[in-house]
Amino acid sequence: MIGAGRIERYVVGRTLSAVGMALAVIAAVVALVQFVDLSRTVGVRADVSVGSLFLLTCLRVPAILLMLAPFIFLFGGMGAFVGLNRSSELVAIRAAGVSAWRFIMPSAGAAMLIGILTISVLNPAAAALNARYDSLRGRLMETATTNAPRDVWLRQGDDATQIVIHARGRATVDGLVRLKDVSLFIYQRTAKGGFAFRRRLEAGEAALMSGFWRLTNVREASAGEYSLRSDTMTIRSSLDAETAMAHFASPEAIAFWRLPAAIRQTEQAGFSAAAYRLRFAQLLAAPVLFAAMSILAAAFSLRLSRLGGLSLLAGVGVGLGFLFFFLNEFSGALADAGVIPQFAAAWAPPLVALLSGLTLLCYTEDG
């Protein structure tokens, strides 16, 4: 029992090393698949170099790895404990009187700490790289084909004014959002509490600056009045470039620290922020899910190898991990449809996985 602290550090080190190896293997597979997919979709349609395809792959891979992070902890933890079992180190540790709880809980705690680091640091970095990926991929594709105009709808406003923005095309240059052939419908709150149409602006281009839209080639029309023309005009905006692009991107493409602002501004503009709220709750629950996968990996690997059936038990653990992943996606779909609350959809799968792992560990260790 004297060396219990050293044993715990050793097991945690082996677990983290195995998680790192799982991360390297999965990252290599994801990078290869992504490179082949980009070669098929971008390489054959645009005159791009291998270096550009490799850069696109590097920009895209981190976002995919974050989505697969629970499996990385599951496979890594299972590989570490199966290795300890087959080398009889696990037998020696338990024969020395060290309970499985003593070395599994520190591993789960390390997984939770890594989960906190993931959502607070790695997620914003991956979101920024993913935004860079979308921008670079769009520029490469534009060199090969001329995209047909696509309708863009945005909405911004506050308690006094609401503005509906319609455009026939958009572009993002150096982080600056530019809309083409823009129509702005401006509504103001009436004395009765509703919103009434006040004026309409037509512009050849609208560029989103810091705190305002800069319109060029503008024609302004108000009800019952003649239209007015001007070369440029500015109107106040509650959107920034990242929030505006959030309307064109999935919630997964928004950084963790930007989600509360995106939720607030989306609701102020009159849109539903349910998808953003679900994503925010899922990110908050990610550390618990990482810890749950670490406990499941250990619980399915404690059976002594001389008793047989360890490979089958490990396979069942992997299958259960995929089942929880499906449950997580299914719960998200139910939340998107409004069937269950976003909080329940985000926290139910991690808590079920955690309780399942603890239950199996109790059964295995304490009978």
Give the model confidence (pLDDT) of 219-238 as tens digits. 888 766 677 888 888 888 87
CB 65 within 8 A of CB 27: yes
Q: Which helix (H) or strand (E) holds 216?
A: strand 212-222
- pLDDT for the residue 148: 41
Could you give the angle at the alpha carbon of 247 between the alpha carbons of 245 and 252, nearest 5°?
Answer: 85
CA dist., res. 332 & res. 329, Å (int)? 5
- pLDDT for the residue 10: 86
Domain boundaries defined on the chain = 4-142+275-366, 159-237
Alpha carbon of 100 to those of 4, 105, 303: distances in Å?
Answer: 11, 8, 12
86 phi/psi in degrees, rounded to 5: -70, -25
Torsion sign over Cα 310, 326, 259, 29:
positive
- pLDDT for the residue 172: 59
| Residue with the two structure tokens 């129509």 | 183
pLDDT tens for the chain, 367 residues: list them.
Answer: 444 578 788 888 889 999 999 999 999 999 999 998 888 877 666 567 788 888 889 999 999 999 889 889 988 888 888 888 777 777 777 777 777 788 888 888 999 999 999 999 999 999 888 878 877 777 776 654 444 446 677 777 777 788 888 887 676 555 567 788 888 888 888 877 777 888 888 888 888 887 788 888 888 887 666 778 888 888 888 776 656 655 555 677 788 888 888 787 777 666 677 888 888 999 999 999 999 988 888 887 776 555 555 566 667 767 777 788 788 888 888 887 778 888 888 898 899 888 888 888 887 766 5
Torsion sign over Cα 309, 351, 70, 319:
positive
CB within 8 Å of 132: residues ≥ 6 apart: 59
CA dist., res. 352 & res. 349, Å (int)? 5
From the list 249, 246, 184, the residue with the least C-alpha distance to 221 is 184
First to last CA, the chain: 22
CB within 8 Å of 229: residues ≥ 6 apart: 218, 219, 220
- pLDDT for the residue 175: 56
| Residue with the two structure tokens 């499985």 | 100
From the list 256, 18, 253, 252, the residue with the least C-alpha distance to 115 is 256
- pLDDT for the residue 268: 67
Alpha carbon of 314 to those of 73, 99, 231, 279: distances in Å?
Answer: 14, 21, 69, 31
DSSP for residue 219: E
Q: Which helix (H) or strand (E) holds 21?
A: helix 4-38
Alpha carbon of 187 to those of 161, 190, 206, 284: distances in Å?
Answer: 6, 9, 19, 37
CB 135 within 8 A of CB 172: yes
CATH of 159-237, one of 3.60.70.12, 3.30.1650.10, 2.60.450.10, 2.60.40.420: 2.60.450.10
Tell me, rounded to whole angstroms, the distance of Cα 357 from its chain centroid: 25
DSSP for residue 122: I
Q: 219-247: buried (b, 16+ CB within 10 Å) or exposed (e) per residue?
A: bbeeeeeeeeeeeebebebbbbbbbbbbb
What string of DSSP letters covers 290-347? HHHHHHHHHHTT-S-GGGS-HHHHHHHHHHHHHHHHHHHHHHHHHHHTTSS-HHHHHH
- pLDDT for the residue 23: 93
What string of DSSP letters covers 175-195? TEEEEEEEEEEEEEE-TTS-E
Indicate the pTM of the whole model.
0.74
CA dist., res. 152 & res. 168, Å (int)? 6
